[in-house]
Chain A
Amino acid sequence: MVTIVHPNLEDTDAKMSARGVSVYYGDKKAIDNVSIDIPTKYVTAFIGPSGCGKSTFLRALNRMNDTIPSARVEGDIMLDGEDIYRSKMDVVQLRARVGMVFQKPNPFPKSIYENIAYGPKIHGLADGKDELDAVVEKSLQRAGLWNEVKDRLTDSGTALSGGQQQRLCIARAIAVDPEVILMDEPCSALDPIATAKIEELIDELNGRYAIVIVTHSMQQAARVSQRTAFFHLGNMVEYGRTSDIFTNPQEERTKDYITGRYG
């Protein structure tokens, strides 16, 4: 299966690159021979029908599949040219550099402050309370949550609204100063206003971090990303500029999917 990669990408610096990546769950091949460069300065969206492997591939990018005993990854995935599976890279370090935000907000059952401070503390990124305070404030600022929570940092993270919890999770990911942020359906449990705030946040973070987002909402992919990859039955069918994918896709299956003719 050949992936159609649009020729006009002009992406020079790849933060992550996958080469010939296949992912198996036991005997079942969930991802078949995917190669892609994740650009440093853009938001990349993975779209495709349920079960197409987009989340599986996303999770391969920071070795989340390691926790599934039957999962096996073939091929190379590089972060800044370093193989994340075969090199001596520590998986905890990897996940600090490649952070993740999940579908349902999952704050720790701790205070808002502790939710953010936890990562920097265990990674030794802050020296003393003053520095930690600064990291917590900066992370919450960047996640657009500071003004809403600055007077209640000791409240439980789980007491926040769904949208606030998700921004708290993004703040938590940012707190360890990652290079890549992976988002797996970050808005599917949120209402449209909370969704808009997350999308605005993704826009704000764009350029500072390489961002990869898996989404079922094609409108969302169109709104927040600059690059889009379409997955289907474990293959990456087409990859290109988001504006091209949504106005003039080259491959019939991509077109059928995004115009609502699939299946």
Chain B
Amino acid sequence: MPEHTVKAFDEDITHLRGLIAEMGGLSELAIQESLDAMVRGDETLAAEVVKRDRKIDELHTEVDKLAVRVIALRAPMADDLREVVAALKIAGVVERIGDYSKNIAKRVGKIEGRDRFEPLTLLPAMGDLAAEMVHDVLSAYAARDPLLAKEVIAADDKVDAFYNSIFRNVVSYMVENPATISSAAQLLFVARNLERIGDHATNVAEMVHFAATGTYPPDEDD
């Protein structure tokens, strides 16, 4: 894309994209580390995830301010306008993704007898899928790639399927091991958070598609 005649405009847009990329990197890391902490029972790591979420919140505020400033001072048009509006919305969604990871981290200390607690082993694979969606959608954002965005949207079905399977597994585990119900319920929330992360990555993908093409991707299944 050719540069703007006013160079400072390009600098603002680049800065905005940099902030979103940084938020995305941190939220991706938070998913992985919160699950790592959950599986290993590492409360120090969990505390770190919780603490680092503040940085994501700060970046979100910074994106809001910069986007509003760009709209006010530069009056962006066409794909520039879509880019800035998408950045505003994407930052809000990525911030939510960070919150879900924080929520997972906060549950680390609430799992009892984790050595004998089988359902824990189901989580990492689902976490990897969700983290991959977040990773891919931010790559799509960085490359303004609507096709990759569509692939991310398609991947959400896998996360949903995983969630349903974990749900059934954990519920049957609860039936067989009533003493673990409290811990198992915690796990259901964790799986639920990962499922929500997948949904949010899908929302980001739709905005990436909109920013790049001016249209929302067609609904595939409904």
* Given A247-B78, A254-B78: 20 more A-B contacts, CB < 8 Å: A219-B75, A222-B77, A246-B78, A246-B81, A247-B77, A247-B81, A247-B82, A247-B214, A248-B78, A248-B82, A248-B214, A248-B215, A249-B78, A255-B79, A259-B4, A259-B80, A260-B4, A260-B77, A261-B2, A261-B3
Q: CA separation between A263 and B2, bound complex, in Å?
A: 9
Q: Does A218 contact B (CB under 8 A)?
A: yes
Q: Does B179 contact A (CB under 8 A)?
A: no
Residues of B within 8 A of A255 (CB): 78-79
Give, as a whole number of angstroms, the nearest-CB distance from A55 to chain B: 22
Q: CA separation between A259 and B12, bound complex, in Å?
A: 14
Which of B5, B9, B78, B215 has the most chain A CB atoms inside 10 A of its CB?
B78
Give, as a whole number of angstroms, the nearest-CB distance from B88 to chain A: 15
| A262–B78 touching, CB < 8 Å | no
| B5–A263 touching, CB < 8 Å | yes
- In chain B, positions 21-67 with a C-beta closer than 8 Å to chain A are none
Q: Does B1 contact A (CB under 8 A)?
A: yes
Q: CA separation between A146 and B33, bound complex, in Å?
A: 71
Residues of B within 8 A of A218 (CB): 77
Give, as a whole number of angstroms, the nearest-CB distance from B38 to chain A: 43
**In the complex, per-residue mask of B1-17: 1 if CB is within 8 Å of any chain A CB, else 0:** 11111100100000000
**Residue A261 contacts which of B4, B75, B215 (CB distance < 8 angstroms)?**
B4
Give, as a whole number of angstroms, the nearest-CB distance from B160 to chain A: 31
| B214–A261 touching, CB < 8 Å | no
Residues of B within 8 A of A261 (CB): 1-5
Residues of A within 8 A of B217 (CB): none
Q: Does B119 contact A (CB under 8 A)?
A: no
**In the complex, per-residue mask of A212-223: 1 if CB is within 8 Å of any chain B CB, else 0:** 000000110010
Q: CA separation between A196 and B71, bound complex, in Å?
A: 20
Q: Does B92 contact A (CB under 8 A)?
A: no
Report B's interface with A, CB cutoff 8 A: 1-6, 9, 75-82, 214-215
Q: 15 A-B residue contacts at CB 8 Å?
A: A218-B77, A219-B75, A247-B82, A248-B82, A248-B215, A254-B78, A256-B2, A259-B4, A259-B78, A259-B80, A260-B6, A260-B77, A261-B3, A262-B5, A263-B5
Give, as a whole number of angstroms, the nearest-CB distance from A261 to chain B: 5
Q: CA separation between A135 and B215, bound complex, in Å?
A: 49
Q: Does A258 contact B (CB under 8 A)?
A: yes
| A258–B77 touching, CB < 8 Å | yes
Residue of B nearest to A261 (CB): B2
Residues of B within 8 A of A260 (CB): 4-6, 9, 77
For the complex of A and B, 7 pairs with smallest distance between CB atoms: A248-B214, A258-B77, A261-B2, A259-B80, A260-B4, A259-B77, A255-B78
Q: CA separation between A247 and B1, bound complex, in Å?
A: 17
Give, as a whole number of angstroms, the nearest-CB distance from B74 to chain A: 8
Q: CA separation between A254 and B78, bound complex, in Å?
A: 9
Residues of A within 8 A of B2 (CB): 256, 261
Give, as a whole number of angstroms, the nearest-CB distance from A180 to chain B: 28
- In chain A, positions 206-263 with a C-beta closer than 8 Å to chain B are 218-219, 222, 246-249, 254-256, 258-263
Give, as a whole number of angstroms, the nearest-CB distance from B14 to chain A: 14
Residues of A within 8 A of B3 (CB): 261
Give, as a whole number of angstroms, the nearest-CB distance from B146 to chain A: 13
| B79–A259 touching, CB < 8 Å | yes
Q: CA separation between A218 and B74, bound complex, in Å?
A: 12
Residues of A within 8 A of B75 (CB): 219
Q: CA separation between A218 and B80, bound complex, in Å?
A: 14
